[in-house]
A = this chain, B = another copy of it.
Amino acid sequence: MRLLIVGGSDAGIQAGLRARQRDPSAEVTVLVADRYPNYSICGIPYHVAGEVPDWHDLAHRTRADLAAAGLDLRLEHRAVRVDTAAKQVDCLDGAGGTRRFGYDQLVVATGALPARPPIGGLDQLGPAEGVHSLHTIGDTLALTDSLARRQAGQVVIVGAGYIGMEMAEALRTRGLGVTVLERLGQVLPATLDPDLAAEVQATLHRHDAAVHTSTPVQAISRPGGGLVVQGRGAARWQADVVLVVTGVRPDSRLAAQAGLRLGVAGAIAVDRRMRTSVPGVLAAGDCTVTYHRLLESDTWLPLGTTAHKQGWIAGETATGGTRQFAGSMSTQVVRVFDRVVAATGLRDQQAAEAGFDPVTVASVADDHKAYYPGASPLQVRLTGDRRSGRLLGAQLLGHLGAEVAKRIDVLATAIAYRAGVADLGDLDLSYTPPLGSPWDALQHAAHAWLAHAGTAPAGRPV
């Protein structure tokens, strides 16, 4: 069986490895558009910060690992055309030639592309001028080169999503001046409610990163040696380097050419076994729609964790497996300096749109017993359905070291099993004074929610 995979990042590589695990006789070829297969894109900010000095270390696996696992990688092979009838893919190779690959099963894992927001001048400016996007290892090397070459002192980051937050930290860690400009009224608008977002913004300010929300960028220009970022009215920011990280869009160009049906947000439509509308063609990762475990419908939620799982399922399907992708709940965590932000599931508006009657209740409890040194407040926002009492989503904000990441995982697990908010109080969670409380902060939050939502007798854990 010839399995051809277009894309050498998380989804593509997982598909290939899983296929080879299940069928060691599979001939797996991976067409990689650039020279950087299987890199941890999520690790880029930590290289830029200097915490991971050698960018090669960001590789999930070495090329030798991938070869040993039976993956035939073709670097600088950009797929440009799929003939699904003839089962062939045409590529441009690095030397300017054209190559054709036949397949029995094809996995399209072309990932995402940076969004290009409507900012004047942006189309005329690029890395050569110090204006960068940040989505690939190539982008990363261009950025670090730019920072060094320009002896950059000031960077403007356009976009306060999680990459904007991570890059603000990274560049401050590098000692640079940082200003973050966000069009919407808060940081992390896709992740957090405004009150927690305000605390994240305060964290950035404490670490001397300026943040301006409700600040759309109108234009970027390069009048002299440096860059000028223009906001509304007379607002101007000078910068040596500008980083535009305003989100991504699915790269479904190849899929569209191939005639695959597209779905939500223009991503490739797939079923829960990652099958596209065309037999023999699978797709996985950021280029595809994302089945949502709680909404039980398709969304588009590009995340590395999801890409891994979808790729894994594509590898199963390609080799005759029947396991389904269980779905995403948009579980996320991001470290911002000495704080950790995490979220899973639905927020009020999404939940209401999905027909729930959402109630969100905020509470605060110590991460561990207050008498033990180092206790810190953990902020919890739980969203539940007033009618059914079902847990729908959660947002956490706490200190680094307060086990915020795995606490959101507890909630993600509960939501996956359709837990009620009240059920959280029943969970047999672990406790030792340096690491928790007899009622964990999550259980405090659950009882606070119940007291407020009135679906159960009032009262907080005591």
Contact = CB atoms under 8 A, between A and B. Distances in A.
Contacts of A316: 457
Nearest to A16: B462
Contacts of A21: 457-460, 462
B42 A432 contact: yes
Interface in A297-351: 303-309, 312, 316, 321, 326-335, 340, 342, 344
A344 B409 CA distance: 16
Interface in A366-384: 369, 371-373
A303 to B, nearest CB: 8
A103 interface: no
A207 interface: no
B436 A412 contact: no
Contacts of A331: 428-430
A440 B409 contact: yes
Given A403-B406, A435-B333, A461-B312, A344 B22 contact: no
Interface string A8-21: 00100110011001
Contacts of A405: 403, 406, 430, 432, 435-436
A309 B17 contact: no
Nearest to A22: B457
A372 B335 CA distance: 13
A305 B428 CA distance: 7
Interface string A420-434: 000101111111111
Interface in A1-50: 10, 13-14, 17-18, 21-22, 40, 42-43, 46
Contacts of A430: 305, 331-333, 342, 344, 405-406, 408-409, 412
A403 B396 CA distance: 15
A425 B427 CA distance: 21
Nearest to A66: B462
A414 interface: yes
Contacts of A426: 309, 326, 416
Interface in A436-462: 436, 438-440, 457-462
Given A429-B331, A431-B305, A22 B459 contact: yes
Contacts of A57: 371
Nearest to A372: B46
Contact of A427 (B18, B303, B413, B462): B413
A329 B428 contact: yes
Nearest to A429: B409
Nearest to A58: B371
A390 to B, nearest CB: 13
A316 B425 CA distance: 14
Nearest to A326: B426
A52 interface: yes
Nearest to A319: B457
A134 to B, nearest CB: 15
Contact of A372 (B14, B52, B344, B373): B52
Contacts of A435: 333, 335, 340, 405
A140 to B, nearest CB: 13
B51 A304 contact: no
A410 interface: yes
Q: In the complex, which of the residues A57, A308, A329 has the most CB atoms of chain B within 10 Å of its own CB atom?
A: A308
A365 to B, nearest CB: 13
B409 A427 contact: yes
Nearest to A311: B462
Contacts of A436: 333, 405
Contact of A412 (B14, B329, B427, B459): B427
B412 A429 contact: yes
Nearest to A321: B457
Interface string A391-412: 0000000000101011111101
Contacts of A461: 308, 312
15 contacts: A14-B462, A40-B371, A42-B431, A42-B432, A60-B438, A305-B431, A306-B428, A312-B425, A312-B461, A321-B457, A333-B435, A335-B434, A403-B406, A417-B417, A417-B419
Given A51-B373, A304-B431, A342-B430, 5 more contacts: A43-B371, A401-B401, A403-B405, A413-B413, A416-B428
